[in-house]
Structure 1
Amino acid sequence: MLAIVAAVLFFISFLINAADITTNDVFSSGNVMLLGLLALALHVAGIGSGWSARRR
């Protein structure tokens, strides 16, 4: 799930950069890209992979 969030954030970052949209400092292209990298890192670490059933 976090990989999809990362892809959406990367796409938003690309649109902000490609369309040369002026935003405030919080939603700049670089900050949105860093949020996407954070979501991707959490996905690779296994945080957002879903529930795992523990069996005995």
Structure 2
Amino acid sequence: MFALIAAVLFLLALIFQIAGVAIGAVVTAATLALAGLLAVALHLMGVGTGWTLKR
């Protein structure tokens, strides 16, 4: 799930970078890229995969 979120954030960052768009002073292409990297890191950690305890 986090990999899909990361892909969408990277796509938005690319579009913002190409178009030179920024939403206010907070949401820029760099902000979206960093959020995408965070989502990739969470995905690689296994967050959201539904871990179960084996007994």
TM-score if structure 2 supplies the norm length?
Answer: 0.86
- For 1:37 and 1:4, the matched residues in 2 are separated by 12
Question: Percent identity between the aligned chains?
Answer: 36
Supply the RMSD in Å over aligned alpha carbons.
Answer: 1.2
Aligned length: 55
1:1-56 residue pairs with structure 2 within 5 A? Answer: 1-49=1-49, 51-56=50-55
Contact 2:22 2:29 in 1 (8 A): no
**Structure 1 unaligned residues grouped into runs of 5+:** none
- What code does the residue aligned with 2:37 have? L
Determine which structure has the larger helix proportion and give its number: 2
| Structure 2 residues without counterparts, runs of 5 or longer | none
Report the TM-score when normalising by structure 1: 0.85
